[in-house]
Structure 1
């Protein structure tokens, strides 16, 4: 296999007519890492992947693979391989010829390309099916063949466009483990587009969260989970509540006081804000407690609007502090020790260190 290369995206934009799909993003993807682009439909993640692959032209900026600027290279000359969401296997060819197809296009002789295709099918544990056609395979088996076909060219980076979206939930989890194992074994850079937070958290060394053509945060899964950079990231990842307001005061101890539209004042640790400046804070859903606020534990009173029993945990939805869906995740033991019902008034609080002062992406 080729050695892995760093992918350097330098001020890359994609413009379609009057619409800007990607706004001058810059990002370094370390060599040999597993990077997931994550975000809602239409956020620019697939356009970015296709620009790295060369299947989409770059409106401005550059893409480097290692030390080589590949912006104007055709896909076959970039040192990348792409696995498409549809797998795009040839129905009339057996698995060996499907996997060997790109080598055939490069003029590699029949025996050599078929031998290498068989090696790739062995790597994917698909050798016993080598003479079958794609229609005789399950979805998971087709995916393995598509991976073998992408990897036969010894790419420095493998690009995957929503590779698990067509699989059933049980198979998705199995194939996640397969992809992670494969990436570690091969040691090459994987760049994987997904709209599933769980998938990105399970696979990635680096998660790149996009929204409206911009990068909101690029960080390790743990940092994204523990310290979301913006209100969008906090909401999209689903593990933080967001409260918004305007700064009232900042003190020398790094505490910012802010007031919500409902007139409640909260405190958060973070860089000073001028009075009147907008403030967003994120509060971990699993760190909120059914307990009254104190000097050391900010909080508010609200009304329970929904309860979901989840086995090991219970999810409460509470209306209050300007939020219609403030979420509290309690362990089943904590909930049943102090059960509440829909319509109950509850006091909620959290430790000061469990609230994060969120930033904002500049346009």
Structure 2
């Protein structure tokens, strides 16, 4: 297998007519990293992937793969391979010829390309199906054929466009494990586009959260989960409540916010030095408890709007103190020891260390 390459995206933009799909993004993906580009539909993640692959022209900026600038190179000369969402297998060819297709286009002899295709099918545990056509395979098997076909060219980076979206939930989880195992054993750089937070958390060494053609945060999954950089990341990852308000106090040790409908909230002042008028803070949903706060500003009284049983946990939605749809994730033990109902007024609280001061993305 060829060695992995670092991917360096330098001030890359993509403009379609009057619409800017990607706004001058810069990102370094270290060699051998499993990177997930994550975000809602239309955030620019697929355009970014296609620009790395060469299937989409770059409006401005440069992309380097290893030491080579590949900005103007055609896809076949970049050292990348792309696996498409639809798999795009040839229905009339058996698996060996499907996998060997790119080598056939390069003029590799039949014996050599078939031997290499069989090696790839072996890697995917599909050698027993070598003479079958794609229609005779399950979705998960078709996906592995598409992977084998992409990997046969010994790419330095494999680019995957929502590769698991067509699979059922159980198969998704199994294929996630297979993708991770494959990337670890091959050691090459994977760049994987997804809109699933769970998928990105399970697979990536580097999560790149995109919104509206910009990068909101690029970090290890744990950093994105525990310390979201912006309100968008905190909301999109779904594990933090975001409270936006007016700054009424900003000292060396503490930030105090006032919410329009009356609530006041505290946060330890980390990175909030420049905030003077308004600010966003985030509170981890799984750190919220039912009970009176230890000090004013670390909780509020609200009305329960929804109770959702999830097996090992229970999700509460609460409105109050000017905060709508505030989420608390309680363990099933904690909830059933003291159950609450929709419509009930309850006190919620959390610790100061469970509050994050969020940054603002400069547009």
The TM-score, its normalising length taken from structure 1, stands at: 0.98
Give the whole-Å Cα distance in 2 for the aligned partners of 1:321 and 1:240. Answer: 17
Alignment of structure 1 residues 133-212 onto 2, 5 Å: 133-212=133-212
Instruction: Specify the alignment match of 1:66 in structure 2.
Output: 66
Give the whole-Å Cα distance in 1 for the aligned partners of 2:217 and 2:67. Answer: 25
Give the whole-Å Cα distance in 1 for the aligned partners of 2:42 and 2:318. Answer: 31
Q: CA deviation at 1:274?
A: 6.1
When residues 20 and 311 of structure 1 are mapped into structure 2, their CA distance, relative to the original with a 3 A threshold, is same
Contact residue 281 and residue 357 of structure 1 kept, 8 A: yes
Q: CA deviation at 1:322?
A: 2.4
Contact residue 297 and residue 352 of structure 1 kept, 8 A: no
| Unpaired runs of at least 5, structure 1 | none
Q: CA deviation at 1:289?
A: 0.8
Contact residue 272 and residue 357 of structure 2 kept, 8 A: no
When residues 196 and 291 of structure 1 are mapped into structure 2, their CA distance, relative to the original with a 3 A threshold, is same
The TM-score, its normalising length taken from structure 2, stands at: 0.98
Contact residue 243 and residue 321 of structure 1 kept, 8 A: no
Instruction: Tell me the C-alpha RMSD between the 2 structures.
Output: 1.1
Contact residue 217 and residue 224 of structure 1 kept, 8 A: yes
Q: CA deviation at 1:272?
A: 4.1
Contact residue 318 and residue 324 of structure 1 kept, 8 A: yes
The farther-off stretch of 152-161 and 265-274 is 265-274
Alignment of structure 1 residues 88-99 onto 2, 5 Å: 88-99=88-99
Contact residue 251 and residue 272 of structure 1 kept, 8 A: no
The farther-off stretch of 338-347 and 266-275 is 266-275
The farther-off stretch of 337-346 and 148-157 is 337-346
The farther-off stretch of 289-298 and 23-32 is 289-298
SS at match of 2:290: coil
Contact residue 11 and residue 24 of structure 1 kept, 8 A: yes
1:130-165 deviation digits (Å, cap 9, x = unpaired): 011111111000000000000000000000000000
Instruction: Specify the alignment match of 2:10 in structure 1.
Output: 10
Give the whole-Å Cα distance in 1 for the aligned partners of 2:272 and 2:340. Answer: 38
SS at match of 1:329: strand
Instruction: Specify the alignment match of 2:247 in structure 1.
Output: 247
Alignment of structure 1 residues 49-128 onto 2, 5 Å: 49-128=49-128
Instruction: Specify the alignment match of 1:261 in structure 2.
Output: 260
Contact residue 249 and residue 273 of structure 1 kept, 8 A: no
Give the whole-Å Cα distance in 2 for the aligned partners of 1:40 and 1:12. Answer: 20
Contact residue 209 and residue 215 of structure 1 kept, 8 A: yes
Instruction: Specify the alignment match of 1:340 in structure 2.
Output: 340
Contact residue 265 and residue 296 of structure 2 kept, 8 A: no
How many residue pairs get aligned? The number is 362
Give the whole-Å Cα distance in 1 for the aligned partners of 2:149 and 2:194. Answer: 21
